[in-house]
Structure 1
């Protein structure tokens, strides 16, 4: 077992399972620029690791996350698996407490979800006056009218309702959330990885993508080019009037 600790996200590798934990003051796990960047780095680390499955959860016993820092909101698309970072391995959300706004977006893009009986999803962005639009992809994952009621901020989704409409797989007591998520993870760890990756890719193609989702994927891909070693080499070669030596990195 290995554990790597950042100020906002921890990455623990346990028996072939990566456990990514959001951490913030007062166990509220507010989504800040630092947390977005740290979780994005964790997805890259997970992709490159020998870990077969990831569990994403919140630190403490109050919240998965209470959502974005409204005083300085980050670009949430950067850390959403499948948007900011392509992740072909299974990802399980373990929702241990309240899950607000952008955190609900993060959970909806996970492949599976275990939820505490006491937890709930809430999306107050229409009342706050802020949204990046990724929440609209929820309408491809649960019934349309239920999604609209939630997105408009007219009703929260408590654990029972979230299970009823298919947003979560299991609802368990808070003390059992991680154990239940780990049981799923260990079963997936021992499954054929090529099959899991293939069917995950196929499912992502089946699910409809909204404008914010498509834009986030495009931004991720264009940013990767702008931040690449090849771009730095190409710009330097142009300035130095020589042929560039590209490496594909």
Structure 2
């Protein structure tokens, strides 16, 4: 079974985390698949992406501890860059890295059954990206979520500005697709410009900057030019670099 499902409707792409039996926990392969799906979406003619989880029990419970992923790969502006709108449709649990994926997206529609939490302080681990929460909702509320790790129900999440709308159980994907269809009719150049300007305005924490630098350096180490440079040095000739 594929870890994700992709469905296009008009100019909207629906990406579904497809591990309902695991409450859509993100294992290593799912993280890679989601990252690749969003890179493909950005390169496509589709204008808006909706991310959701299969079933009604969980959007995602975050990292699968039995097969730990590089969960930053699934986070907008961290694991991939998209200048197109990304909407999350959340039902049930949205925990840890999944919460930060929602936070880093542009918009969120949540079922009345949804709940949000970041329990890393209780389990003794964090990647640090969660600091971005304090740039998106009031500081004291962000610190409560990050420090206390308690469950934030959908209505409270709406009140604190963590999400955009609460809809009846089972209607979150439908509502997100309706919002996406409306956005798909807007001027793409304007949406891209707004999103770029917002990204430049948002403060970025040390973990985000570190991950960005790591990805750029990794691209160099995986490049053809690196291999050509090493071969040219060993063969005592001038390298023929191609920029790839």
TM-score bracket for this pair, using the shorter chain length? over 0.9
Alignment correspondent of 1:85: 80
Report if aligned partners of 1:78, 1:216 keep a CA contact under 8 Å in 2.
no
Alignment correspondent of 2:159: 164
**Deviation at 1:158?**
0.9
Report if aligned partners of 1:27, 1:63 keep a CA contact under 8 Å in 2.
no
| TM-score, length of structure 1 as denominator length | 0.91
**Deviation at 1:227?**
2.5
Please report the RMSD computed on the Cα atoms of aligned residues, expressed in angstroms.
Answer: 1.7
Q: Which of the residues 91, 98, 106 maps onto 1:96?
A: 91
Alignment correspondent of 2:36: 41
**Deviation at 1:18?**
1.3
SS in structure 2 of the partner of residue 87 of structure 1: coil
Structure 1 segment 120-131 matched on structure 2, within 5 A: 120-131=115-126
Report if aligned partners of 2:157, 2:163 keep a CA contact under 8 Å in 1.
yes
Report if aligned partners of 2:122, 2:149 keep a CA contact under 8 Å in 1.
no
Q: Which of the residues 100, 105, 110 maps onto 1:115?
A: 110
Instruction: Tell me the distance in 1 between the aligned counterparts of 2:13 and 2:240.
Output: 36
**Deviation at 1:234?**
3.5
Give unpaired runs (5+ residues) of structure 1: 1-5
Structure 1 segment 1-249 matched on structure 2, within 5 A: 7-24=2-19, 26-249=21-244
SS in structure 2 of the partner of residue 248 of structure 1: coil
Q: Which has the higher mean CA deviation after the structures are superposed, 97-106 or 148-157?
A: 148-157
| CA distance 1:88–1:242, shift in 2 (3 Å) | farther
Total equivalences in the alignment: 244
| CA distance 1:122–1:197, shift in 2 (3 Å) | same
| TM-score, length of structure 2 as denominator length | 0.93
